[in-house]
Structure 1
């Protein structure tokens, strides 16, 4: 039987061995790589070029330097994240290996968007605008406590030079069907004023495929869902920064995005009897329309108190999100001979709408002193969310409302937060201690219930760094986190797919909490080993409840999981050759999950593993012809109470720079083996469920980008101030 103590003993020995190996075997080689990256020194012009490592390990985060990545050329933010070691992107959903879904930040601020709209927004950000991607598995108290599994922070480039600069880009993607994209950005800086803007648009379609098998006691239901999803997604941003005085900077930005979505669906359910012979067929044809838009405005003030670096930043934000969804579907039933069963034909309309307004006010102070550094801040947020669901049945070609299936849901949430961080360095030791408090008041009102709650929670953080030698560093960190549910998951009403399946929210859904511990060793940026532990309580997820008496399936979010996750990660970088750099990572993790509801299995545990290799090549001395080959494999394992099957992906790309590197041409092929599939099974009410999903991830993309204007300028987006609540608009 596996013992946790044995896991820690083995992992600790591996960490120590890693440190010893790094110091004894790699020391001579490092001086010719990272520590000797001052490649060009011009004493007359006082010009020094420093080459950053592709991956940098810091005490609270791992940094992927996009400007050093060949794979970044010709890609967007979402596609690029799929190439960062330890990050997985499947069906446009971002997660961390061994940890699950993760919250996304842009310039240190959590995104306000739902999952679909966030994916569309990330696809609108060309990688050329990104400076780095930070994986923050244990955020400090400065960040909102939202997100059990940590954060991913996308840091955009900044304008630092006077003048005018811009770029234009075109893209063509061929999966099963084509998608086209276009966009550009402009920026101008003169004296005290900086102006910036960008616009993008994407149009095309994808063909996801979903298949499931539900094994009832007397029947097997095989469900095949074939969709074609069409999207038109325009969006843009304008902004200005004004240097009001030597010590005062004022900024404003406005973002707007739209999504026009419609789908054509066919859901065919084959019902098999005990001997696996066809009993009947249920057929549902549907088409859905979704219209969503968001507006986001940010006003900020940054004041510098003295020359030592003391500063105060104030952010005021407004975010508004609206969506309107309609799904028309019909149902037909056929017998085993293909004849339609009399009276089985029916037509329905299911619709929903959401209107979300979010206001936040945030103030932060960074106060460095001689013997320690102090940072503190506060935030106020006010959320108002109105949503409704309606259901109609066609009678004599007229859709008449089913009053018992209609509902309005009103939700209010206000949060007040305070935090403090203290940093102190003592010789070879660095210490950081933080504490964040969040007081939240909520009220949810629907037709049949009122749910009110308020709670005060504390979230401590601790970071300790010890520098054993010049290039050898150990770090230990601890943090407590909260994961609040998305607003739609709190709406108690139903969304029907067909007469046998519907989803509904849960107004009594509670936040989940987690404790995270990490012990890490890094040697010269080349070799890193990390041992981490995560404990989540009151975890929530959607469970497909199945009733063997009537074959009804209900998808409902519930708090039911307590989990323990142990993970050992090792990464090593090979960069001894000028023409080839390889970044490799191997993670091994053990997950133990317990359920508190009787319908599911009480306990599930098991090991899992993940391997990735990112390789980039330079084909000529002028560094204008490049390529990349990337592969990752997620081995079979456990996720909450689901048994996950293995999946893997192979991507390649070729890049060409022309016209003094102002023109970029890129050809990328994603998921060459068509192996990026979600396959898993679960057991609910002693009924086994199997799922096999593929989301049209194999494609060829040709992209063209042209940069113009002042070559010394770097594009910028300043930081908005919205926080955790905006992310939960999905």
Structure 2
């Protein structure tokens, strides 16, 4: 640990210099402060100040409470404009209300008892209709349990979609349309607090269909609170869409053309209408095109080396849409209903060449495979929503009933032909095969959440029940005499059911400059899996505690500490025993007996003036699962299969800085340094792997004219070598540039974005299984030029209602 300590000291050096301007406080000072605080609490009566501000704003309003002695407490309004201070002593105070685009307001208060106030703020300027760039408010904000990226403050968001935008957020990686956090594996994605239900391809398509200017903010939640499902070891990313608050009609349409090796076209639109008690909304999306990933690998057997080059062209046609209605029969009651559906039609043309080299230089043989895969998937989802306000102080009940259905039909035709090292075809080596799979997923959930704010604390509780049924049928055929004949030894049926019942309790409390939040979630799960040759069942009760503490020191410093425990249940496709053959020597399959993994995470963070944030974190994963390529030296068979094998320990130091040196320039910098130690539980792999890694990124946003209608962004990131599980990762980096123009009173947006200009975003790593070294080098067609045109029309004050279906966890695992 000496190297780690030395590295942490170096990384914190700049931070410590940055903090020299702040007066130091010692352990003795902290003790005296705590003693005085406790004595004060015991000596004087404590009261509560609460209130509500109008108009309701999307961004929170800062509320400062102070007195003549220098006492100072800061809070913010919630989504309904409500705020509160608890445990305040009797005396004279001043309340100061401030927010972007509103006049600062002051109110004098003589506190003698619990007090409730109601105020209205006055706007100072007109909000920009489509793009609101305000350099006084940071693009990045840190809250008690999450980091917030304010999309409407980001130039990089113009002309991009949700998936592309996430790749520009410090600390987030997007490789091959898969989203992850720096130093960690894949992360679960939520839209308006609900986990998305889609497979990887369908999810990427859906995220690309959401224009960034429909997004209010993107929240990075490393330790989700108890109200969220415990699913997902690596936290959550929550995409919050804009809300609907005004009557009228609004719509938008956008077209996009992406040119990588081949072109891809996209079209999307949304409409919404609100009149009196009814709100109607719909959106539709369409994407068609192809990509050309290139995957290469070397497997070093004791006497031979197998080199595999997979040149693939994937074609996709992906339509999707949503329709919904909200009805407000009474002032305190909201009922909503929505339905959304989508499908993916996919086919690929693959050319796979496997060259076998002898230990003595020379080619032993060559195996050529031609493959054609066809996949059709579709999903249907419906949500019934009830929100009932109980009183004016914020007590409310929310109920969600959800239904989700997913169907996936896969067929892969492939043939193999073998050649001698001299190039001559080996007699009778030509063979044709067919691998097929059919999967059905049905999911039903019912969820209830109760919010109960009181004078001295806020309490929330809830329950959820879910029922999942997954049916899979896999078959393998070999063509003989012009007919595909089934191979019974490689065909199977797998039926899997999973039922979960959950309860949670969450408590929030503010004591002067301290914010506390504690929660506990319990989940009881029953599973059963039945295949033709095996049966498995289990039931387990698990507890998931969470704890958050924040201390506001003076005006510019904020310290926070949080802890959480999570579970990562495998995606349903990883339970599907379907075999995807590259050739007769290599295939990938699911594992119906895969078990969930568990994670403990703790973070300590400091933020100065909302400009500089440093975070030290530690996470421990038990029973972790990963895809492992089992290689057999005797048969040369390669089987890619997910297994539970990893126990890992991850230490990370993250530093984020936001600078605004000029009115026309804002820059964000992120530097992450991490150390990972992984241990394997199976003998086929190496015993373990450990090492350092690092990541650096910079996002620079420029305004090029006074009217703020011509803008640009320049983004760069570099991933240093490191480890991921039992894989040794090599470096990669990317440079992106974008130019954006606003026309027609900013209703028309035209954006040109260039991604991976240096063609350097290549996924390279090595692994060792059965003492056989494996090397991989993959490129996923990430260099492209994209032109996006978007037009907004209708009542510009309209923003869509936030909807929160309740089957978050289970729907995500269809991914």
TM-score of the pair, normalised by structure 1: 0.96
Other-structure match for 2:667: 582
Deviation at 1:468, TM superposition (A): 1.1
Other-structure match for 1:698: 783
Q: Deviations over 1:36-92 (max 9, x none)?
A: 985675999932359432111112111111111111111111111111110000001
Match of 2:171 among 86, 92, 98: 86
Deviation at 1:5, TM superposition (A): 6.2
Match of 1:531 among 616, 629, 640: 616
Q: Deviations over 1:540-568 (max 9, x none)?
A: 00110100001000111111110000000
Deviation at 1:432, TM superposition (A): 0.9
Deviation at 1:114, TM superposition (A): 1.4
Deviation at 1:505, TM superposition (A): 2.1
Structure 2 residues without counterparts, runs of 5 or longer: 25-96, 106-119, 128-133
Specify the SS of the correspondent of 1:712: coil
Other-structure match for 1:415: 500
- CA change 1:16–1:439 in 2 (3 A) is farther
Match of 1:349 among 406, 430, 434: 434
Other-structure match for 1:31: none
Instruction: Give, in whole Å, the separation in 2 of the partners of 1:18 and 1:415.
Output: 49
Q: Deviations over 1:289-316 (max 9, x none)?
A: 0000000100100000000011110000
Other-structure match for 1:475: 560
Other-structure match for 2:131: none
Bigger mean CA deviation after superposition, 456-465 or 124-133: 124-133
Deviation at 1:492, TM superposition (A): 3.8
Match of 2:122 among 29, 46, 63: 46
Q: Which has the higher contact order (CA 8 A, sep 6+)?
A: 1
- CA change 1:4–1:453 in 2 (3 A) is farther
Tell me, yes or no, if the aligned pair for 1:413 and 1:442 is still in contact at 8 Å: yes
Other-structure match for 1:373: 458
Instruction: Give, in whole Å, the separation in 2 of the partners of 1:2 and 1:559.
Output: 31
Tell me, yes or no, if the aligned pair for 1:19 and 1:521 is still in contact at 8 Å: no
Tell me, yes or no, if the aligned pair for 2:102 and 2:121 is still in contact at 8 Å: no
Tell me, yes or no, if the aligned pair for 2:102 and 2:122 is still in contact at 8 Å: no
Q: Deviations over 1:324-363 (max 9, x none)?
A: 0000000000011111100110000000011000000000
Is 1:663 aligned with 2:748? yes
Other-structure match for 2:190: 105
Instruction: Give, in whole Å, the separation in 2 of the partners of 1:120 and 1:710.
Output: 28
Match of 2:631 among 522, 526, 546: 546
- CA change 1:392–1:261 in 2 (3 A) is same
Is 1:557 aligned with 2:646? no
Instruction: Give, in whole Å, the separation in 2 of the partners of 1:544 and 1:611.
Output: 30
Instruction: Give, in whole Å, the separation in 1 of the partners of 2:387 and 2:550.
Output: 30
- CA change 1:153–1:5 in 2 (3 A) is same
Specify the SS of the correspondent of 1:117: helix
- CA change 1:223–1:108 in 2 (3 A) is same
Instruction: Give, in whole Å, the separation in 2 of the partners of 1:98 and 1:307.
Output: 44
Q: Deviations over 1:216-275 (max 9, x none)?
A: 010000000000000000000001111110110000111100100000001100100113
- CA change 1:506–1:45 in 2 (3 A) is closer
Other-structure match for 2:764: 679
Other-structure match for 2:379: 294
Deviation at 1:140, TM superposition (A): 0.8
Deviation at 1:491, TM superposition (A): 3.1
Q: Deviations over 1:148-206 (max 9, x none)?
A: 01000011111111100001111111000000111111000111111100111010000
Tell me, yes or no, if the aligned pair for 1:22 and 1:523 is still in contact at 8 Å: no
Is 1:214 aligned with 2:214? no
- The within-5 A match list for 1:321-340 is 321-340=406-425
- CA change 1:19–1:520 in 2 (3 A) is farther
- CA change 1:38–1:457 in 2 (3 A) is closer
Tell me, yes or no, if the aligned pair for 2:437 and 2:578 is still in contact at 8 Å: no
Tell me, yes or no, if the aligned pair for 1:220 and 1:276 is still in contact at 8 Å: no
- CA change 1:39–1:323 in 2 (3 A) is closer
Is 1:251 aligned with 2:336? yes
* Root-mean-square deviation over aligned CA pairs: 1.9
Match of 2:246 among 161, 164, 168: 161
Specify the SS of the correspondent of 1:67: helix
Instruction: Give, in whole Å, the separation in 1 of the partners of 2:121 and 2:556.
Output: 31
Tell me, yes or no, if the aligned pair for 1:656 and 1:666 is still in contact at 8 Å: yes
Instruction: Give, in whole Å, the separation in 2 of the partners of 1:290 and 1:351.
Output: 10
Specify the SS of the correspondent of 1:79: helix
- CA change 1:84–1:447 in 2 (3 A) is same
- CA change 1:183–1:460 in 2 (3 A) is same
Other-structure match for 2:688: 603
- CA change 1:40–1:466 in 2 (3 A) is closer
Other-structure match for 1:136: 221
Deviation at 1:460, TM superposition (A): 0.4
Other-structure match for 1:485: 570
Bigger mean CA deviation after superposition, 403-412 or 318-327: 403-412
Instruction: Give, in whole Å, the separation in 1 of the partners of 2:582 and 2:22.
Output: 56
Other-structure match for 2:808: 723
Structure 1 residues without counterparts, runs of 5 or longer: 25-34
Other-structure match for 1:241: 326
Deviation at 1:525, TM superposition (A): 1.1
- CA change 1:584–1:171 in 2 (3 A) is same
Specify the SS of the correspondent of 1:708: strand
Aligned pair count? 720
Instruction: Give, in whole Å, the separation in 2 of the partners of 1:444 and 1:21.
Output: 61
- The within-5 A match list for 1:337-486 is 337-486=422-571
Tell me, yes or no, if the aligned pair for 2:412 and 2:580 is still in contact at 8 Å: no
Is 1:187 aligned with 2:272? yes
Instruction: Give, in whole Å, the separation in 1 of the partners of 2:484 and 2:192.
Output: 47
Deviation at 1:115, TM superposition (A): 1.3
Specify the SS of the correspondent of 1:48: coil
Tell me, yes or no, if the aligned pair for 1:11 and 1:531 is still in contact at 8 Å: no
Specify the SS of the correspondent of 1:101: coil
Is 1:281 aligned with 2:366? yes
Q: Deviations over 1:357-390 (max 9, x none)?
A: 0000000011110000000000000001101101
Is 1:708 aligned with 2:784? no
Q: Deviations over 1:644-686 (max 9, x none)?
A: 0000010000000000000000000000000111000011111
TM-score of the pair, normalised by structure 2: 0.86
